[in-house]
Structure 1
Amino acid sequence: MKIGIIGATGNAGSALFAEATKRGHQAAAIVRDPAKARELLGGGASILERDAFDLTADDLSAFDVVVNAFGATPDQAYLHVDLTQSLIDGASGENAPRLIFILGAGSLTTGGDNHLFVDDLRNLPGAEAWVSIPENQLKQLEQLRTVTQVDWVGVSPSAHFIPGEATKPTLGGEALLYAPDGESHTTTGTMAVAILDEIENPAHRLTRFTVSDS
């Protein structure tokens, strides 16, 4: 398949690019800095030099699937929502790709009362410096849940989303997952495997699922 990866030079995006390439797919890094992408992904990497907000319907229709692994700094966390809308608008026509969004863990539920995990995050020391990211990723999911005209799926990691090799993914629905060691974590490698599995054998549509290390 032809898979476009927005944010392919980030931790999640580069793991996705490597996994897609390993499986024989035509992966393309959608990036603003092609030199950085080639340095990180290899000189032979397929690259579409484009700001994600400038992607046109024609750009998107060149792919079977576009994965949004975009990450923003806390002061620009609202861009998660803005880019989601931009991609939805661009993928609403004929030959539109499937859209896969990597979301945060903040929108998952936890505890006996099934409260949102972002409520716990807000109470952590120093959270005011970064909590805008999970808050806007929650808005991103709420935004996606109003969309029916685009083939989309969201994927959330566990509480700690960290660089690392893949384990066998454990999948869940709306609740925060915990690995066998009692901690809540997902490596970028595990996330990449789960997303490529979903691309090759679609099991979710117009919904969000979550991924944990095993």
Structure 2
Amino acid sequence: MKIGIIGGNGKAGAAVYQEALKRGHQPTAIVRNAAKAQGVLGADATLLVKDGFELTREDLTAFDVVIDAFGVPMGSPLAYLHLDLLTRIVHELRETQTRLGVIIGAASLTMPDGRPLLDHLMATPGHEDWIGVPLNQTYEHAFLQMIDNVDWFAVSPQREFKLGPASSYVMGDQKVMFDADGRSELTTGNMALAILDELETPTHIRQRFTVRNQEAD
């Protein structure tokens, strides 16, 4: 499977790239800086060096799947680029055979009290300094639900999303999940496992799902 990964040298994108390579697929990291990407993925990494906003329909449809792992730092004034890039990609992929996977963050998940996690984040003191990314990722989720002529899926991590190895995961749908110790966590490795499992056995057609780490025995 030919898999293009926008932001393929980032925290989530690099994990997806390595897991795809491990499974015998043909991943390509779509990046702006070749040297930086090679530093993360290795000197022999397959790259498409191009700004995401310059990707054409021909660029994107050369892949069986495009994964949007684009991200800006928490607190960045450019958080709106999450939605801007997604709308551009969707425009180019309408009525094509290329599948689209989008990593959209956890803010649109629902907490046990029935409210969106975003509501809880908005009530956190000092949220004004970093809420832009979670807010725009909820916009991405809302936007995707309007799209019926692109074969998309979206995946949300849990409240804590951090670098870590692949082990195993627990599948969820629209809710924040907690393990037996009350943790709501997902590693980048387990995110990559879930995404590659979805690509190899599609079960979420125009749907969002979420995963958390499986507790060790």
Instruction: Tell me if both proteins adopt one fold, taking TM over 0.5 as the criterion.
Output: yes
- The two structures have a TM-score, normalised by structure 1, of 0.96
Alpha-carbon distance, 1:169 to partner:
1.4
> Which stretch has the larger CA shift, 54-63 or 72-81?
72-81
What is the count of residue pairs matched by the alignment?
212
Aligned to 2:50: 50
> 1:115 corresponds to which letter in structure 2?
R
Superposed CA offset, 1:141-173 (max 9, x none): 000000001000000000000000122111111
Conserved 8 A contact 1:152-1:207: yes
Query: AA paired with 2:18?
Result: A
Between the aligned partners of 1:163 and 1:150, the Cα distance in structure 2 is 30
CA deviation map 1:49-71 (0-9, x unaligned): 11011110000111000101100
Please say if residues 95 and 149 of structure 2, whose CA atoms lie closer than 8 Å, have aligned partners that are also in contact: no
Structure 1 Cα separation of the partners of residues 61 and 131 of structure 2: 34
Tell me which moved more, 19-28 or 84-93: 84-93
TM-score by length of 2: 0.95
Question: How far has the Cα of 1:93 moved from its partner?
Answer: 4.1
* Structure 2, gaps ≥5 residues long: none
Indicate if the aligned counterparts of 2:153 and 2:206 stay in contact, CA closer than 8 A.
Answer: yes
For 1:25, the equivalent position in structure 2 comes to 25
Cα distance in 2 for residues equivalent to 1:109 and 1:188: 21
- Unaligned stretches of 5+ residues in structure 1: none
Mapped partners of 1:62, 1:180: distance in 2: 43
Q: Tell me, yes or no, if structure 1 residue 100 matches structure 2 residue 101.
A: yes
Which of structure 1's runs of 4+ aligned residues deviate more than 6 A?
Answer: none
Q: In 2, Cα distance between the equivalents of 1:53 and 1:148?
A: 22
Mapping of residues 60-75 of structure 1, within 5 Å:
60-73=60-73, 74-75=76-77
Shift in Å at residue 125 of structure 1?
2.7
Quote the offset at 1:111 in angstroms.
2.4
Q: Which amino acid aligns with 1:86?
A: R
Report the identity percentage.
46
C-alpha distance in structure 2 between counterparts of 1:124 and 1:15, whole Å? 30
Residue equivalent to 1:171: 171
CA–CA separation in structure 1 for the residues paired with 2:116 and 2:136: 13
* Superposed displacement of residue 181, structure 1: 2.6
Give the distance between the partners of 2:58 and 2:95, measured in 1 at CA.
Answer: 10
1:143 is aligned to: 143
Confirm or deny: 8 A CA contact 2:38 2:45 kept in the other structure: yes
Q: Counterparts of 1:163 and 1:84 in 2: how far apart (Å)? A: 24
Secondary structure, in 3 states, of the residue corresponding to 1:4? Answer: strand
1:159 aligns with 2:130: no
1:38 Cα deviation from its structure 2 partner: 1.1
Could you tell me whether the CA contact under 8 Å between 2:66 and 2:101 is conserved in 1? yes
**Aligned position for 1:129:** 129
Query: Whole-Å Cα distance in 2 between the matches of residues 171 and 180 of structure 1?
Result: 15
The CA RMSD measured in Å over matched residues stands at 1.0
Taking the aligned partners of 1:71 and 1:97, their CA distance within structure 2 comes to 22
